[in-house]
Amino acid sequence: MMKVKMKITKLKEYALQHQVPIIQDEGLDFIIELIKSKNIKTILEIGSAIGYSAISFSQVGCIVDTIEKDENRYNEAVKNIKEFNANVNIHLADALTFETNKLYDLIFIDGPKGQYERLFLRFSPNLKAGGVIVCDNLNFHHLKVEDVSKRTASLLNKIKKFRQFLTDNKEYETVIYDVGDGVSVSKLK
């Protein structure tokens, strides 16, 4: 177990050195506790990057299907998944066009931030009864619209709109936690 922990730490260090966006420690720990408390066994992850979170989820007994559209990151993730012998199936695809009829205990959205609402709506039919949809980066580094470029301001406004979508959504009960970079947990009512 210690060897696996050291390898995970090395993977995290690699991501930080190469500026690959990965989940913050606090957010990852929060989701792993959620997985354990809800006895989650199957996860669909949107946005693999280099496989860090998918591998971490698999370490607590989950089967993870993950989608990555960037070919370089996909190739890096494939290599990492093999190295960890992780129970992770990775797909090189755009999540907005990816098709699956599988059902999951947890859907983790950590892909293109401006597309969160579309991704939520697209994959919510793949949620098992009693399952949850988790979204990361809802605080987006605590940036403020007035302090950033026009492009980043546009993204921040999309995230704000998505947060409102979660709050207004009558089908789901959503709580947004101020852990990591902001994590929402949405449960079908």
Tens-digit pLDDT profile for residues 58-105? 999 999 999 999 999 999 999 999 999 999 999 999 999 999 999 999
* Residue 184 near residue 171 (C-beta atoms within 8 A): no
Dmax of the chain from CA atoms? Answer: 46
Q: Is the model's pLDDT at 18 over the cut of 70?
A: yes
Domain boundaries of the chain, sorted by first residue:
2-188
Q: 2-188 adopts what CATH topology?
A: Rossmann fold (3.40.50)
Within a 10 A sphere around the Cβ of 13, how many other Cβ atoms?
A: 10
Question: Tens of pLDDT along 119-168?
Answer: 999 999 999 999 999 999 888 766 676 766 777 678 778 899 999 999 99
